[in-house]
Amino acid sequence: MLEAKVWFAALSQCLFSLNTGFGPLIMLGSYNRFDRNIYRDTWIASGIDTLTSLLAGLTIFAFLGNLAWTMDVDILKVALTENHFAIIIFAQAVSMFEVVPQLFCIIFFLMMAIIGVGTATAYVGAVITVIASLFPKSSRYRVPLIVCFIGLIIGLMYLTPGGSMMTRLADYFGAKVVICIMALVEVVGVAWIYGIDNFLVDIEFMLKLKLGLYWKLSWCYFIPTFLSGILVYAFLDGQHSPGYKGHSFSNITLSAGWLYSLLAISAIPIFAFYVVKTSKGTGWQEKFKEAMKPSEEWGPKRCDLRQDWLEYKKHRLDNEC
């Protein structure tokens, strides 16, 4: 528990499991009513996700322990890599049922297919929503077809003999490292650039609920510090670099992986530079200050809600001052 790699793996799993830092939550949240009780939804989703993860973990390690005891070997010798847990361990467990194991195998793989399709729908839907927003005049079928076709072509490499190794590389450098950086940028952008007071007032106006000091400290200090520490470990630690089948990746492979991560997060500084460059102002200093402010379109779209929001925000912030 005191090793940094354990917390890095736990953080990556939490972000991936809850979809925090990815686009799907923002995309799906855009379809909510303005006064939707997202505070309650957050607690429900987090609670269900936690219970599901605990149940899956208990099931996996209970079967691994039983298998190790049956084979009279150490549990480390029967544990597989993380990418094989769900498919092999669960499939092998249900195949040992005494009553209609075939039926339970069918149910299990049907469940895995539904989870896979649901996950892909959320991720692909986020990409499609962004592209469709940039090109509103494009056909409603053209963008999804192009995105799905490109995704299909890219996904074919995971079916090759080296697909498992590519999956391991993409999982570490394309998901874990990148999503930690994205989550850090998001929380810093909201808490420090947009302003934690502005954000809390927005939530209070939407939910009619005032959040306590815990949330303010978490978004401003605890979460950025924890994420930064985990990322420093990921960048500097070479002893626990990712590998495949018990072997560490070569320096060339690791360099390619870090280059992949760099390309993935390069969109953040590129778009930031574009926003600063296109902002109002005569010099770079004025442009930068203008870029740090919310745009004129920021806020509720409905005119009545927008006017109430502006008045409420001005009243609350003036009282705090």
How many angstroms separate the CA atoms of 258 and 176, rounded?
A: 12
Buried b (16+ CB within 10 A) or exposed e, 102-123: eebbeebeeeeeeeeeeeeebb
Characterise 247 by phi-psi region: left (phi > 0), alpha (psi -120 to 50), beta (else).
beta
How many angstroms separate the CA atoms of 233 and 220, rounded?
A: 21
241 a known binding residue? no
Concatenated DSSP letters of 271-310: HHHHHHHHSSSSSHHHHHHHHTSPPTT-S-SSHHHHHHHH
Tokens encoding 241: 């670099």
Rg (CA), the chain: 23
Question: Residue 56 — φ and ψ, nearest 5°?
Answer: -65, -40
CA 48 to chain centre: 17
- Alpha carbon distances (Å) from 306 to 190, 203, 209, 303: 20, 14, 18, 5
Please give the sequence-ordered ranges of beta strands (E in DSSP) within 150-290, or none if there are none.
243-244, 247-248
Q: Which residues are annotated as a binding site?
A: 17
Q: Which residues are annotated as a binding site for Na(+)?
A: 17
